[in-house]
């Protein structure tokens, strides 16, 4: 099964290494690019950096490499900070159902890292635009989040670590010890001690 914990066991030569460099872009879908662009630029402050229409032949044609199966759809990119992009494809109206964020393989929500000042500003922008959001909810230790929905029904979170000020340490804020992670991994079905030790190899002792 794709995504199985057993799939990569043939080659563990890179165990403990972080091979990707982070998110290049996260590609989501909309059926109204104008409304989506207004929301992300004006409300969330993510500048539009690239606006294009996908060339012919890359939707239903043989050149499709995983794009939505529609010809010449719009594909826009927004700067979401830290040299990473948020992107949207515009699906023809009523061509696809609304997604279920809790479906297996679905995207439950997207959480963006924000500094305390930015956290305050986002709340004010949401209120000014009449966008409902949760109060500040304690998450992991030292982490607060507010949740709301974009115009496409995508659940978003603004995640803030107030004590870190303008330099949030995202990984350091969640990092567990080997013992803490091991206790949780042992609750999984069908795993053995060797698999658990391989999974916790990059964590600090404790």
Strand order in the sheet with 110-114: 110-114, 155-160, 144-149, 137-138
User: CATH for 23-93, among 3.40.430.10, 3.10.180.10, 3.10.129.10, 3.30.1050.10?
Assistant: 3.10.180.10
**CA separation for the pair 15, 203 (Å, rounded):** 12
The confidence score (pLDDT) of residue 12 equals: 53
pLDDT one-digit tens code per residue, 2-50 = 444 554 555 555 556 777 878 899 999 999 999 999 999 999 999 999 9
pLDDT at residue 177, as a whole number: 95
| Structure confidence at residue 2 (pLDDT) | 44
Q: Give, rounded to a whole angstrom, the gap between the first and last alpha carbons of the chain.
A: 33
Question: What is the spatial distance between Cα 75 and Cα 38, in angstroms, rounded to a whole number?
Answer: 15
Q: How much is the pLDDT for 11? A: 54
Predicted structure pTM score? 0.87
pLDDT for 93: 95
Give the per-residue pLDDT at 101. Answer: 93
Q: Span 109-173: which CATH code? A: 3.10.180.10
pLDDT on residue 4: 47
Question: Domain spans of the chain?
Answer: 23-93, 109-173, 176-206
Give residue 14's pLDDT. 52
The parts of the chain modelled with pLDDT lower than 70 are 1-16
d(CA 181, CA 174): 11
Work out the mean pLDDT of the chain and round it to a whole number: 90
Asked if the domains 23-93 and 109-173 are classified in one and the same CATH topology, the answer is yes
Strands (E), 11-152: 25-30, 48-53, 74-79, 85-90, 110-114, 137-138, 144-149
């Amino acid at each position: 099964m794709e995504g199985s914990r057993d799939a990569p066991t043939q080659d563990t030569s890179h165990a403990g290494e972080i091979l990707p460099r982070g998110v290049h872009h996260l590609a989501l879908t909309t059926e109204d690019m104008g409304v989506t662009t207004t929301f992300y630029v004006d409300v969330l402050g993510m500048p539009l950096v690239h606006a294009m229409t996908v060339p012919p032949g890359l939707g239903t044609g043989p050149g499709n490499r995983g794009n939505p199966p529609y010809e010449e759809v719009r594909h826009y990119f927004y700067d979401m900070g830290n040299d990473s992009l948020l992107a949207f494809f515009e699906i023809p109206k009523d061509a696809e159902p609304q997604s279920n964020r809790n479906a297996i393989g679905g995207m439950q929500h997207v959480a963006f890292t924000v500094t305390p000042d930015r956290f305050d500003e986002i709340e004010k922008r949401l209120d000014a635009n009449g966008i409902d959001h949760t109060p500040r909810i304690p998450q992991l230790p030292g982490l607060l989040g507010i949740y709301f929905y974009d115009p496409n029904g995508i659940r978003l979170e603004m995640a803030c670590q107030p004590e870190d000020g303008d330099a949030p340490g995202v990984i350091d804020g969640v990092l567990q010890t080997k013992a803490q992670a091991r206790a949780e991994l042992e609750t999984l079905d069908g795993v053995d001690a060797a698999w658990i030790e391989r999974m916790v190899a990059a964590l600090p002792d404790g």
